[in-house]
């Protein structure tokens, strides 16, 4: 029997930011809440529990507010955004690949799976739906092996992180599975999301709410069936204007989430890492998005999301090596609109034909069931010094009630991550 998501989890192993100037501006390296109010600035939401969070304008790159944005924490499946940033442009989405047994070897115990089977053919686009919707580590491993292997993909992801300016990130596995030393930050996750949303394919996959995934071959009829998969992003289709991007949960990382939403021509990004309970990652993201849209023109930026490095900024070698060794198993996919990338704009792209996406607004009141049961999370004991750095110097939030009327989301027993269909992450599992 599947149990609902955990109500609480132990603090993950946190590390202070690397020594040196903080990427994106001095204030982003300071502990506590960073916000610069101007006239008429709405108050920040109360009750935020995330160990780290950040609100940014995706178009301008301005960071509107942040809390310990460079604190290094385990990423869970949000690291799959960096995997997609690195590998997605290399293969045509219509290319077909036959999965071998070796490509499914080495999956971590309890990994979330979409249901990829050996000795069957899959389109590249089906594998990416498995990555984005079901957070399938099996789909990640197949694509990583198509890309030359796990080790090469991890190396290229680390190089891509460097190109993006993500100095807090250390990659150990391509899927976000809990590994010693695998860390990132809210700031870096926001960079990964911003970069990915410039790619129309990335944008359409993360906006897809449900799809059909290729199944096994019927032994009696010889016909291959399909089964439905659903996006485990709880805000998709519920928060107005949400575009994606990626959620994650592991025993050690707790809940992590990066969300992007568009309103009146403005796209905001919010990253939240390790709130005190599972569903709070969505509630707090929604509250910060509400605040960001209300405050975007009424605060001074506390920092900036850096632009990817190019040859002109002295990083030509890293940029080249990040894509130099892609295997020739499938035709290369054309890159996203270079003009849009250069301008920092996010190209608009709907989902592929036959897929549903987050269009329109559903009533948040439809999500009303409370979490069914609590499960004790495993403890990963961090040093007292690290915990004190993360929790000890908490700046006082401006007193206020929640901005924008955000409604808390309760977990439903039919939710993909809690009820346990193909691709769901069980309690105690790791992404």
Candidates 159, 167, 168; CA nearest to 315 is 159
All residues at 6 or more sequence positions from 171 whose CB lies less than 8 Å from its CB, including other chains: 79, 82, 154, 157, 158, 161, 182
- Please identify which residue in the block is written with the tokens 């304008």: 57
Q: What is the pLDDT of residue 240?
A: 97
Tokens of 142: 């197949």
**264 inside domain:** yes
* Domain span at 78: 26-419
**426 inside domain:** no
**7 inside domain:** no
**211 inside domain:** yes
Q: What is the Cα–Cα distance from 261 to 286, expressed in whole angstroms? A: 10
**Count of beta carbons in the 10 Å neighbourhood of residue 313:** 13
Tokens of 190: 């926001």
Domain harbouring 410, CATH code:
3.40.710.10
Tokens of 143: 């694509």
Report the pLDDT averaged over residues 132-149. 98
Q: What is the pLDDT of residue 251?
A: 87
Name the E strands within 282-420: 299-300, 303-304, 356-357
Q: Tell me: the pLDDT tens digits for 23-48?
A: 999 999 999 999 999 989 999 999 99
409 with 284: CB under 8 angstroms?
no
**31 inside domain:** yes
- The model's confidence at residue 278, banded by pLDDT at 50, 70 and 90, is confident
**8 inside domain:** no
Alpha helices in 133-214 (DSSP H): 137-146, 150-164, 186-197, 200-206
CA angle 314/319/320 to nearest 5° reads 110
55 with 292: CB under 8 angstroms?
yes
Q: Tell me: the pLDDT tens digits for 372-394?
A: 333 333 333 334 334 444 444 33
**82 inside domain:** yes
pTM above 0.85, yes or no: no
In the predicted model, is pLDDT for residue 352 greater than 50? no
Known catalytic residues are 77, 80, 135
- Please identify which residue in the block is written with the tokens 């002295």: 314
In the predicted model, is pLDDT for residue 328 greater than 70? no
Structural domain tally of the chain? Answer: 1
Q: With H, G, I as helix, E, B as strand and everything else as coil, classify residue 151.
A: helix
**357 inside domain:** yes
Report the pLDDT averaged over residues 110-132. 97
């Amino acid at each position: 029997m599947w149990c609902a998501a955990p109500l609480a989890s132990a603090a993950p192993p946190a590390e202070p930011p690397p020594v040196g100037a903080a990427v994106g501006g001095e204030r982003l390296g300071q502990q506590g809440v960073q916000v610069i109010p101007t006239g008429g600035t709405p108050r920040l939401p109360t009750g935020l529990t995330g160990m780290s969070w950040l609100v940014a304008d995706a178009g301008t790159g301005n960071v509107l507010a942040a809390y310990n944005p460079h604190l290094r924490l385990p990423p869970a499946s949000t690291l799959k955004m960096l995997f997609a940033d690195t590998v997605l442009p290399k293969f045509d989405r219509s290319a077909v690949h036959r999965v071998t047994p070796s490509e499914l070897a080495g999956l971590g115990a309890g990994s979330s799976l979409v249901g990829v089977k050996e000795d069957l053919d899959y389109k590249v686009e089906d594998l990416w739906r498995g990555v984005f919707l079901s957070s399938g580590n099996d789909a990640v491993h197949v694509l990583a092996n198509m890309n030359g292997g796990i080790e090469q993909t991890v190396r290229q992801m680390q190089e891509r992180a460097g190109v993006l300016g993500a100095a807090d990130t250390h990659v150990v596995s391509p899927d976000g599975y809990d590994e010693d030393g695998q860390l990132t930050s809210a700031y870096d996750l926001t960079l990964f999301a911003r970069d990915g949303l410039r790619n129309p394919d990335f944008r359409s996959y993360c906006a897809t709410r449900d799809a059909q995934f290729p199944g096994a071959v019927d032994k009696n009829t010889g016909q291959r069936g399909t089964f439905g998969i659903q996006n485990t992003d709880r805000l998709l289709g519920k928060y107005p204007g949400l575009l994606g991007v990626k959620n994650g949960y592991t025993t050690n990382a707790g809940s992590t989430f990066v969300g992007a939403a568009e309103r009146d021509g403005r796209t905001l990004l919010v990253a939240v890492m390790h709130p005190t309970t599972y569903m709070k990652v969505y509630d707090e993201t929604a509250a910060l998005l509400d605040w960001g849209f209300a405050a975007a023109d009424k605060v001074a930026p506390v920092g900036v999301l850096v632009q990817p490095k190019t040859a002109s900024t002295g990083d030509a070698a890293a940029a080249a090596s990040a894509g130099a060794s892609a295997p020739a198993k499938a035709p290369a996919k054309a890159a996203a609109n270079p003009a849009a990338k250069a301008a920092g704009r996010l190209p608009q792209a709907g989902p592929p034909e036959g897929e549903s996406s987050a269009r329109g607004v559903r009533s948040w009141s439809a999500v009303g069931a409370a979490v069914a049961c609590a499960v004790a999370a495993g403890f990963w004991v961090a040093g007292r010094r690290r915990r004190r750095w993360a929790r000890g110097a908490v700046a006082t939030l401006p007193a206020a009630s929640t901005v924008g009327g955000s409604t808390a989301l309760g977990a439903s027993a039919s939710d993909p991550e809690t009820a346990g269909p193909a691709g769901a992450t069980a309690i105690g599992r790791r992404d």
